[in-house]
Copies of this chain bind each other. A is one copy, B any other.
Amino acid sequence: MTEAKVLSRGDQTRDALIRAALVVFGRSGFDAASTRAIAEAAGVNQALIGYHFGGKQGLYLGVFEHIIGQIREHMAPVAAQVEHRLAQATPEGPQRRALALEMMQDLFDAFNDMNFQHSREGWVRLILREQQDPTEAFQLLYDSILSRLMGLVTRLVALGSGLEQDSEACRIRAMMIFGQLLVFYTARGTASRHLGWKELNRDNLAALKRQFRIVLESQFPPGVPAV
């Protein structure tokens, strides 16, 4: 319903290739993924990769542009809202901890939902690989959204903890907070065995959110003065 059906034949092919490549690249990595396998998964002739994207590399970048668009769609609204509230917040007010906590919960609720919705696709695997050996694709991803999200959470940590704005401590803490959620995707095998979660379903996600909320509150207790 959200998709316009006025896609030309070429655009349909581009689309099918990107969606197939998302899966195949995610499962096998760039080198091990074959253009023939991608083309077959897309139901399309192999030479069309060269025609539409210039080659394997071009298709890979196309996949990341697609991902970036999706993440933007999910996170931009809540990020903008948090930025707005941050600009208005008095950094020394008495309830600034509660405020920071609330905004973090908004942000990470959206983050969790996005990850959950796309957990079946190849997102996680693709980004994980790029984290280990960043290429042009990661530069794109980081500059367009990741840096914004990280900066936002870092400012929220500063607000909630009283630590100096953008200090190294705040940045480390921001990374750690993400880590608490991401570990369920990055260490999927361990999570699967230790928790018996063969796949992340709605119930699992709810339990995860509950514990995350508890831990977040313990890190930024609303009623206690800052360190």
Question: In the assembly, what is the distance between CA of A47 and CA of B125, in Å?
Answer: 33
Task: Decide: A168 near B195, CB < 8 A? Known: A128-B132, A183-B182, A219-B219.
Answer: yes
Chain B residues closer than 8 Å to A218, beta-carbon distance: 218-219, 221
Question: Across the interface, do B219 and A191 meet the contact criterion of CB distance under 8 Å?
Answer: no
Question: Across the interface, do A211 and B125 meet the contact criterion of CB distance under 8 Å?
Answer: no
Question: Across the interface, do B186 and A175 meet the contact criterion of CB distance under 8 Å?
Answer: no
Stoichiometry, as copies per complex, reads 2
Write out, one digit per residue, whether chain A residues 17-52 have a CB within 8 A of any chain B CB (1) or not (0): 000000000011111100000000000000000000
- Check A6 for interface membership: any CB of B closer than 8 A: no
Chain B residues closer than 8 Å to A175, beta-carbon distance: 183-184, 187, 190-191, 194-195
Q: Which of A53-61, A85-93, A142-150 contacts B (4 or more CB under 8 A)?
A: A142-150
Question: Across the interface, do B188 and A183 meet the contact criterion of CB distance under 8 Å?
Answer: no
Closest B residue to A134 by CB, please name it. B189
Partner of A189, one of B32, B130, B189, B221: B130
Question: Across the interface, do A194 and B211 meet the contact criterion of CB distance under 8 Å?
Answer: no
Residues from 167 to 216 in A contacting B, C-beta threshold 8 Å: 168-169, 171-176, 178-184, 186-195, 207-208, 210-212, 215
Question: Across the interface, do A179 and B174 meet the contact criterion of CB distance under 8 Å?
Answer: no
Closest B residue to A130 by CB, please name it. B189
Question: Across the interface, do B168 and A207 meet the contact criterion of CB distance under 8 Å?
Answer: yes
Question: Across the interface, do B125 and A132 meet the contact criterion of CB distance under 8 Å?
Answer: yes
- Check A108 for interface membership: any CB of B closer than 8 A: no
User: What are 5 inter-chain pairs, A to B, with CB distance below 8 A?
Assistant: A134-B192, A147-B194, A175-B190, A176-B183, A218-B218
Q: Which residues of A contact B (CB under 8 A)?
A: 27-32, 124-125, 128, 130-134, 138, 142, 146-147, 150, 154, 168-169, 171-176, 178-184, 186-195, 207-208, 210-212, 215, 218-219, 221
Given A132-B189, A146-B190, A172-B207, 6 more A-B residue pairs with CB atoms under 8 Å apart are: A28-B32, A130-B189, A134-B189, A179-B181, A179-B183, A186-B187
